């Protein structure tokens, strides 16, 4: 994994707090940001396990969606780019990108 992230779990299952700020392209996620990572439907978790190489990209994406610091289109593109840069298999990264592109609008707060 090239893009590292330091987190601490919260009392909520599958929620973390960022322990050190991270910057990727034009987005800086501040220390203390709470996020839930990639939202993977239960039936697909064996194929797309939570965490791993896509965790950094998920944090950037969650922050962009919560704050609107960049457009939804840019947030989705950075999500894909960071996953690929971090070694997520191309078909998995493209599948997750397609999912946020098609179904993420209701979660974008920009």
Is residue 70 within 8 Å of 28, Cβ to Cβ? no
How confident is the prediction along the chain (110 residues), in pLDDT tens digits per residue? Answer: 577 888 887 776 678 899 999 999 999 999 999 998 777 766 776 776 666 778 899 999 999 999 999 999 999 999 999 999 999 999 999 998 998 998 888 889 97
Place of tokens 């910057």: 23
Q: Name the residue range of residue 57's domain.
A: 7-107
Domain count, the chain: 1
Q: Is residue 63 part of a domain?
A: yes
Give pLDDT, residue 104: 86
Q: Is residue 2 part of a domain?
A: no
Q: What is this structure's pTM?
A: 0.88
Q: Is residue 1 part of a domain?
A: no
Contacts of 17 (CB under 8 A, 6+ apart): 7, 8, 10, 32, 33, 34
Q: What pairing do the DSSP bridges indicate for beta strands 27-29 and 22-24?
A: antiparallel
Q: Is residue 89 part of a domain?
A: yes
From residue 36, alpha-carbon distances to 17, 18, 40, 76, 90 in Å are: 9, 11, 10, 16, 23
């Amino acid at each position: 994994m090239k893009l590292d992230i330091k987190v601490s779990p919260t009392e909520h299952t599958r929620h973390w707090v960022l322990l050190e700020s991270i910057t990727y392209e034009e987005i800086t996620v501040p220390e203390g940001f709470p996020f839930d990572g990639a939202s993977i439907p239960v039936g697909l978790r064996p194929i797309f396990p939570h965490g791993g190489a896509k965790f950094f990209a998920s944090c950037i994406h969650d922050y962009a969606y919560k704050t609107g610091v960049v457009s939804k289109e840019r947030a989705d593109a950075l999500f894909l780019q960071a996953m690929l840069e971090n070694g997520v298999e191309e078909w998995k990264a493209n599948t997750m990108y397609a999912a946020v592109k098609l179904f993420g609008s209701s979660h974008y707060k920009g």
